[in-house]
Structure 1
């Protein structure tokens, strides 16, 4: 198969890739996710308790780490696409995270690597030394960069093992099911060990999980289909814009022989078109052959003077899909805000489960993880097969994303109604500040269930859409672009909350004195407006690569046997 290499550089046998690689990718994802979730979801508590940091400083560090984990995947994807390949990036990233976790574990075990313990909030607490902070920050940086470099690159490489787009969709479903399930196990199990047994033991479990994931991944190398990196695709895209501007006065042609079709590296012809498409015609000039571009042997490829037609079409693909991509930012912004406000609400509600056990406020996210994990399995095993029987085709990614939009909006509506009831009870009982309202925290579960089901639809749908529709040279970048708008949504959500705090009285320090329900109504309005924008973008978009496959009994059976 063109574009692949075997371990020794020869052409790969027919059995490279396919479902034989599935267990390796799923097991690797499980191990690396257990490790990453085990430290990242409890790092604020660790910094406060073990390094005597103030709450706000610990929260700021956590924000930086979360931003890195969500934004850095695009860098790893570009490196994978352009220079090293996905396999090498995953091995290097997981090794970095392993090294970071080892350092983090040592900081928890060795007294010389952390300040003496003190009571939380005491003015006599000793601050960590510069050496201790250097080791701490190095461990967190390595663990963050490693986690970011594997999450979406692993998803892309796993999908590369399949030629059938239906099989790729099944893989994405199980990939993200594993992600949520492993995160759930880590939040419930490893974090419990860290809080109640030992930080050293908890981080040690993260090291073990990371190591197992890395070993399993490397052991499956002989079965993997390895795609060769073809140089930086972004250089070619930038070249198109520069050359199109330089030739802005040149007259366009409708003859295919007037355009450059040869790849820049002089290899085999890779373009899928013989004439340029009609949209964004001004970019066609970048591949237009003019005087000095040809000789007796064909096109003369001069950097930044002539581009291939395929490079032009690749840039057009990105331009066409960019409006759809932008809708993901405001889709995830309400979710990011909701997840932070849920903790504040839970702290001001009755969290008792029985007479002795009290649910930690930070563990409310568990309901989202459980719901998403179950929903992903149900969607793959029941909903999609039922849809296929009724319509004769597989649901398209845009349909899944659209359903995710509606469920997210419904979650915000439920959140507003529940908070309105909570505030009403607070006023009835004359409770101010952050006093606990006699209302069970399980009232928050329906909105978490709704947003969990929404993620099960729109998250894999977005990854599948961008993976299938992005140019081949940007496959790894395509999956990572989902992480990019999640990272942007994380920071945008923080900005929105700060704006509402400064301009309204809805979010005072004591939430019983505010109007958090109005915040949720604002998020509902944002979701509705964004959904309208999404519908416009989706109606105007035309699929480039997603196949509308008519389902037969035979291939339906194959689809179910492989999972």
Structure 2
């Protein structure tokens, strides 16, 4: 029996009754994943004697995979398994990885013996120890990536007939996701630092188990839909079909282009645009391409004109999208290296409390949340009063670019001061510089994110064709993944070409790395301004900029 379509939700399934199960599952999985990733750098350095920069690189790879894997999971869910099966299978995979990771903190045979004080040599590290460690990291990351986007999708699917309720669901979904991320990066990290790694990691295991059990308990309430195919597939078909017909001459009229199957009678045909005309060949009807009933006979040889135009819309926005690669790269560099800075600074607040190094990035989350609240309640109304216009998505992203490279400048100045303090205190008993000096730069990153992240989501969702709306968040996810991998590559280049990033950052010049990011940020901002200047909004009817003219 075929699953129902989203336009025909059965009354006995779906709806708000599924909300507690989906939210609880999301919270549990976020606590589990965030609980170990937030402190991964510290764990690798302290327990596996991994060099500090190498540990930061591993963290960047994990965060990069966290951005790219949800897109792959979405394709698998849309094309083959469906969201429900993708989620429970991925939850089991991430559970296995988290259990393995907890085992490395529990069993002495799975982690290196600590070096004796005063010893000039340490016990050699076992290969099996590293195999288990990295297998745990890969499994836990792979599994969580499979749930990250599909959980929000299955939640929205339960309210498919109520678009307004879907908006409410997304607001609450991301609120709980944010809250769980804060708890993971503070409370669980505190347990790992002050009780034991074993206790902290098994809390992550428990959260994962609870999330999986609760999700499966809600199975009978979920509306489950048959996979309809991924939008990425239709995009790939346009490329393949246009290549296969590259020798076919373009017709002079639109009558020879395929409009699609079951077109509404008397509907106006879609006319191919004048840009990227080589792609129009994918919609040219040749012998044997169409069945007698009007449907496509060879799906990888013929596409509709609308599918071709959708692909062209994506190409037009790619330059703007590419400008965000380097927007996220400094954030990836700073996210990992700030933890190394925190480890070398005074983290005490009062005589009895010490901020865990892995929790330092919580200041980014907090500043983002606070500024988003101010943005909607204060900044947007003030901007309208002063200018008579609303802030456009392109303007929001541009402000985010500026704040981002300014935060790198602040990071460079703070690191320069930290290095001077560290060198002047070398060999003395003076207290190192306070970790709270890192708060301004992290807060600036959070404020920048409050500008550019919603701006990008708004831009892509507004500009993408109706058939590709779901790709808007996927584009952001891919950006995050690519940015973290670029951050990894940049750190590798710096290590191979300079002496700025040694094992002990007190002997390096991390401030120079930040200055390089400032220069790169300024150049990238100029590239973004150029792209934005020449970009023309495709869907001006969807732009909700009251009292402002449509931008061309």
**Mapping 1:324-335, distance limit 5 Å:** 324-335=320-331
Partner residue in 2 for 1:71 = 68
TM-score, with length taken from structure 2: 0.81
Q: Which of these residues, 452, 458, 473, is aligned with residue 458 of structure 1?
A: 452
Structure 1, unpaired ranges of 5+: 553-563
Equivalent pair of 1:173/1:380 in contact (CA under 8 Å)? no
Structure 1 residues 453, 158: CA separation in 2 closer, same or farther (over 3 Å shift)?
farther
Greater CA deviation, 386-395 or 405-414? 386-395
Q: Given the alignment of the two structures, is residue 542 of structure 1 paired with residue 540 of structure 2, yes or no?
A: no
What SS does structure 2 have at the residue aligned with 1:72?
A: helix
TM-score, with length taken from structure 1: 0.79
Partner residue in 2 for 1:522 = 516
**Mapping 1:273-312, distance limit 5 Å:** 274-293=270-289, 297-298=293-294, 301-312=297-308
Q: Which of these residues, 310, 313, 330, is aligned with residue 314 of structure 1?
A: 310
**Mapping 1:498-517, distance limit 5 Å:** 498-504=492-498, 506-507=500-501, 515-517=509-511
Cα shift at 1:259: 1.7
Cα shift at 1:446: 1.0
Partner residue in 2 for 1:494 = 488
Cα shift at 1:504: 4.7
Partner residue in 1 for 2:238 = 240
Partner residue in 2 for 1:85 = 82
Structure 1 residues 117, 520: CA separation in 2 closer, same or farther (over 3 Å shift)?
closer
What SS does structure 2 have at the residue aligned with 1:306?
A: coil
Partner residue in 1 for 2:138 = 141
Structure 1 residues 126, 523: CA separation in 2 closer, same or farther (over 3 Å shift)?
closer
What SS does structure 1 have at the residue aligned with 2:361?
A: helix
Partner residue in 2 for 1:440 = 434
Structure 2, unpaired ranges of 5+: 548-552
Structure 1 residues 332, 95: CA separation in 2 closer, same or farther (over 3 Å shift)?
same
Equivalent pair of 2:38/2:358 in contact (CA under 8 Å)? no
Q: Distance in 2 between matches of 1:413 and 1:46?
A: 29
Cα shift at 1:177: 4.1
Q: Distance in 2 between matches of 1:509 and 1:182?
A: 33
Equivalent pair of 1:152/1:476 in contact (CA under 8 Å)? no
Paired residues, what number? Answer: 540
Cα shift at 1:167: 7.2
**Mapping 1:100-499, distance limit 5 Å:** 100-110=97-107, 114=110, 117-119=113-115, 123-125=121-123, 127-128=125-126, 130=128, 135-158=132-155, 161=159, 174-219=172-217, 228-248=226-246, 250-253=248-251, 255-263=253-261, 274-293=270-289, 297-298=293-294, 301-379=297-375, 383=379, 396-422=392-418, 430=424, 439-467=433-461, 469-470=463-464, 477-499=471-493
Structure 1 residues 465, 217: CA separation in 2 closer, same or farther (over 3 Å shift)?
farther
Alignment root-mean-square deviation, CA: 4.2
Equivalent pair of 1:173/1:376 in contact (CA under 8 Å)? no
Q: Distance in 2 between matches of 1:371 and 1:82?
A: 38
Q: Distance in 2 between matches of 1:423 and 1:57?
A: 21
Cα shift at 1:33: 0.9
Q: Given the alignment of the two structures, is residue 98 of structure 1 paired with residue 113 of structure 2, yes or no?
A: no
Structure 1 residues 344, 45: CA separation in 2 closer, same or farther (over 3 Å shift)?
closer
Q: Distance in 1 between matches of 2:151 and 2:250?
A: 42
